[in-house]
Amino acid sequence: MTRRKQIKWAIIGLVAVALTGWITSSWGRWFGNEPELPYTVPTVPDRITLCYGPDAQHDRCLTWRCDTIQHAYAVELRTPTDSMMLPASSVRVESRAGFQYFYRCELYGLMENATYRYRLCSETDTTAWHAFVMAERTDSIRFMVLGDIQDSVGGDSPDLLRMASERLGTMDFYAFVGDMIERPTDRYWQMFYSSIDPFCDSIPLMVCTGNHDYLKGIYKTIDPRWRHTFGTPLNGPDRFMGRSYYVDFTDMRFIVIDTDALQLPWEYAAARSWVSNVLQQSTKHWNVVLMHHPLHSASIGRDNPTMRWAFRSLFEGEHGPDLVLAGHDHSYMRWAAETAPLYMVLTTATKDYLSKSDPGAAKVACGHRLYQQVVVTPQAIALSSYLAETGELYDSVRIEKQTGTPAVIRDLGQHIAERIDLPHRFSGKDGSRVKKFRKLRSRRASEPGRNVVFED
């Protein structure tokens, strides 16, 4: 063997060894799952959750968990003038460390502008009374939308949601962009419910899957509890039933896409076809999309070219949505645009990533948790973002549209300084990503008209 061939094979060997080492060290991060500890399931209903049916004006769905023994549950539903018993369906759901029964009761044909009281009744137990209010027919919708929660042990999302609710008042519903749990284990489900227990039995949730709601693997699978924890409408494609769905309000269609299920080419094709049909068939003045992965990524090291390939031409076409809400990147970004759709990347988790300070963004934030209020009227969708730690208004934008005309985006948050701080978890670090973050931040701060403040 010549010396040149020896050198060639030596290089190939070194590359193979390096590649094998990299794959071995990353295998657990890519495909490994945190073990789930054994857990106890209460013998009385818990995690009682209210979701919308397909028609927000008349439909609701109740779900709850109870026991490792199947019971015959029904919902006793009352109004001031009527009372009825509605049977619930049940299903045994197994996780990696236990099993439990989940129950579901769909409530159709409810009256507008009415208060319903309900309790859950079995052959051995009856819960306390709960209540929810059906809105009167109105063109105004108010909801709170939050980025990834992903609480670790001792997380403070319960305080955040309590303060946000006190500051903003009662919402028509709460929307989550996915990753409500850090990993698919019972203790993280319990932590999430400690955040939403004050309202989840009386105010509907609009939920989206996130990658942390899935079990890792060469082919990911959804945590089996997810589908039965939330009573989402069953109007999506068979492949993503209950995880991709839509809800119709008086003047808005709200579309949820399970982007984490999109792993193979035909899954992208099926999702695009379904979303296309749902948008084209919509007769509503406004169309809003909720999805976990953003088309325009907000953080260093993040990019989703397959999402842009699947959805960008659709979203920016004739029947595109007006607003697209996403998460995943643990950094805040509002994409610069003068016409719809408006793309938003939201963050609520305590675990911050480094913003890429994209010059294509109208507004960014880093090192801060935010929550959003969205108000929908016939004239506009008004979105306001608030800093979780202080409640200060951080960003404000309006999407305005008259019937038959393109939507126009009004940037009302330009006068508020951008806060692009180095997250605490990177304090004292000076690696390549931190250096890149500082460089990109400085470049953004030097752009004419930018008002950027930051702390390291």
Q: What is the pLDDT of residues 278-330, one digit of tens each?
A: 999 999 999 999 999 999 999 999 999 999 999 999 999 999 999 999 999 99
Q: What is the pLDDT of residues 112-142, one digit of tens each?
A: 999 999 999 999 899 999 999 998 877 799 9
Percentage of the chain modeled with pLDDT above 90: 82
| Cis check: omega of the bond before 158, within 30 degrees of 0 | no
Q: What is the pLDDT of residues 3-13, one digit of tens each?
A: 676 666 666 66
In CATH, what number does 46-134 get?
2.60.40.380
- Dist CA 382 CA 405 (whole Å): 18
Q: What's the pLDDT at 19? A: 57
Q: Which CATH superfamily is domain 141-419 in?
A: Metallo-dependent phosphatases (3.60.21.10)
What are the CA-CA distances from residue 159 to residues 166, 198, 277, 341 (Å)? Answer: 11, 11, 40, 32
Q: What is the pLDDT of residues 74-88, one digit of tens each?
A: 999 998 788 999 999
Average pLDDT over residues 379-386: 97
- Dist CA 220 CA 260 (whole Å): 8
Comparison of pLDDT for 221 and 405, the residue scoring more: 221
What are the CA-CA distances from residue 388 to residues 121, 179, 350, 365 (Å)? Answer: 39, 18, 11, 12
Average pLDDT over residues 425-432: 91
Amino acid at 446: S
- Dist CA 267 CA 209 (whole Å): 15
- Dist CA 135 CA 137 (whole Å): 6
- Dist CA 427 CA 455 (whole Å): 11
Residues forming a β-bridge with 100: 93
- Dist CA 453 CA 456 (whole Å): 11
Question: Is the pLDDT score of 170 beyond 60?
Answer: yes
Secondary structure element (H or E) that encloses residue 357, with its range: none
Q: What is the DSSP letter of 146?
A: E
Q: What is the pLDDT of residues 183-224, one digit of tens each?
A: 999 999 999 999 999 999 999 999 999 999 999 988 999 999
Q: What's the pLDDT at 46? A: 97
The predicted model scores a pTM of 0.93
What are the CA-CA distances from residue 1 to residues 6, 9, 13, 16, 36 (Å)? Answer: 7, 10, 16, 20, 54
What are the CA-CA distances from residue 364 to residues 44, 144, 370, 451 (Å)? Answer: 45, 19, 11, 11
Q: How many residues does the chain have?
A: 456
Q: What's the pLDDT at 151? A: 81
Q: DSSP letter string over 126-160?
A: BPPPEEEEEPPS-S-EEEEEE-B--B-TT--HHHH
- Dist CA 75 CA 127 (whole Å): 10
Cβ atoms of residues 377 and 166 within 8 Å: no
Domain range annotation of the chain: 46-134, 141-419
Cβ atoms of residues 329 and 364 within 8 Å: no
Amino acid at 91: V
Secondary structure element (H or E) that encloses residue 456, with its range: none
- Dist CA 238 CA 211 (whole Å): 20
Q: What's the pLDDT at 412? A: 94
**Domains 46-134 and 141-419 belong to one CATH topology:** no
Q: What's the pLDDT at 403? A: 79
Q: What is the pLDDT of residues 217-249, one digit of tens each?
A: 889 999 999 999 999 999 999 989 999 999 999
